[in-house]
Amino acid sequence: MAPAGTSAGREAAAATTDPTGLPGTPSAAPAARPHRPDPRLYQIAILAGLVLFGVTRLDFEVAPLRIGLVLAACLATQWIGMRLTGQRGFDPKSPLISALGLAMLLRTDSEAAMVFAAVITIAAKFVLRVNGKHVFNPTNFSLVAMMLLGWGWVSPGQWGSVAFFAFLLACLGGLVVNRAARSDVTYAFLASYMGIVFGRALWLGEPLAIPLHHLQNGAFLIFTFFMISDPRTTPDSRPGRVLFACAVAATAAWITFGLHRTNGLLWALAALSLTTPLIDRLLPGRRHRWGFTRATEPAPPARGLAEALARARAVRGATRPGTPFPGRIVPLLSAAHAVRGTSERSPS
């Protein structure tokens, strides 16, 4: 063992010293983990490729000018919203996903209506919020709003079997490659909605070609992998997300088969998104934050509280009679820093 006064001894002591300066306290900093790419980059690549292929090969009936207007309006609204809310920097990934999904699904009679839809898509994230979370999936909110206003309609996304299955494989590949921490809502929705659709067909004696045709459209895939799976608008806890997904599936089936209305998935998600704050209250969980993985997410409150209590014990020892004044300062500052860090790490 190296003597304490040598360089090796000082390095060994530093390795077992907390960053706040308290000797003998193990550092709480997590070990470095390999950086995992942002899953939104994969989503943008999928959607952008599909838009390009659809315009050039599938006749999406949307002019490149309108796609450009939607992209520009979404990015500009995101930038303005971040400036008005005092946020630094600019992250274009989320508005790009919303803009590409909107360009594929929304059909209007004018460019002005497309620009309006793009603006409210992003503006809703900054305006319609509860407890720091925006309530609605941006693209879903805009599509429902345009249908309610009578200014647009939704493309069913009948792209043909080849394009459909290629897009399906790309979406499933995204779940595997990115190992999305919140893919449980996608699996729960697929299982429950497909169970209802196929169960209804068996109950009525319909051939399986009918439910397969019902599911074989691009709008269903975009909804499943890019709307209901939005981690910023789904419940925080896993039980809450599974409950939410099953409720959306049941409500969508009722609207589609019971009320005989089109776009049942969109109406169901918009209506049940209002229940997310209640689900979060009844079934609380860790709030999703882009840029954090399971290995790098902020520590839960219990861990931070334990750190604060450890420093409090150090403060009690440092404030005993006879302790030199300089020896009291570092523990006191360390404890204050720990308490502040605990409150900042707590899920909001």
- The pLDDT profile of the chain, 348 residues, written as one tens digit per residue, is 444 444 444 444 444 444 434 444 444 444 444 556 777 888 888 889 888 887 887 777 778 899 999 999 999 999 999 999 998 889 899 999 999 999 989 999 999 999 999 999 999 999 999 988 889 999 999 999 999 999 999 987 666 666 777 777 777 766 655 555 568 899 999 999 999 999 999 999 999 999 998 888 888 988 988 888 888 889 999 999 999 999 999 999 999 999 999 999 999 999 999 999 999 999 998 876 655 444 334 444 444 445 545 555 655 555 555 555 445 455 445 544 544 444 444 333
151, exposed or middle or buried, with CB in 10 Å at 0-12, 13-18, 19+? middle
- Per residue in 163-177, pLDDT (tens digit) is 777 777 777 766 655
| Interatomic CA distance for residues 99 and 226, integer angstroms | 12
Residues sharing a CB contact under 8 Å with residue 116, sequence separation 6 or more, in sequence order: 151
* 291 phi and psi angles, rounded to 5 deg: 100, -10
pLDDT at 298: 42
Residue 14: the pLDDT is 43
- pTM recorded for the entire structure: 0.72
What DSSP letter does each residue of 284-311 carry, written as one string?
--PPP-TT--TTTSPPPHHHHHHHHHHH
Burial 10-36 (b: 16+ CB within 10 A, else e): eeeeeeebbebebeebeebeeeeeeee
Note the helical H segments in the chain: 7-15, 39-53, 64-84, 93-105, 111-127, 138-149, 161-178, 184-204, 209-215, 218-222, 238-253, 264-272, 276-282, 301-318, 325-345
Q: What is the pLDDT of residue 143?
A: 96
pLDDT attached to residue 96: 95
Residue 49: predicted pLDDT: 86
Q: Report DSSP state, residue 262.
A: S
Contacts of 73 (CB under 8 A, 6+ apart): 99, 114, 115, 118, 119
Question: How many percent of the chain have pLDDT more than 90?
Answer: 43
Lookup: tokens for 188? 């729960």
Per-residue confidence (pLDDT) for residue 231, from 0 to 100:
85
The length of the chain is: 348
Query: What does DSSP assign to residue 30?
Result: P
User: Distance (Å, rounded) from C-alpha 338 to C-alpha 334?
Assistant: 6
CA distance 249 to 241: 12
What's the gap between Cα 275 and its chain centre? Answer: 17
> Tell me, what's the pLDDT at 290?
58
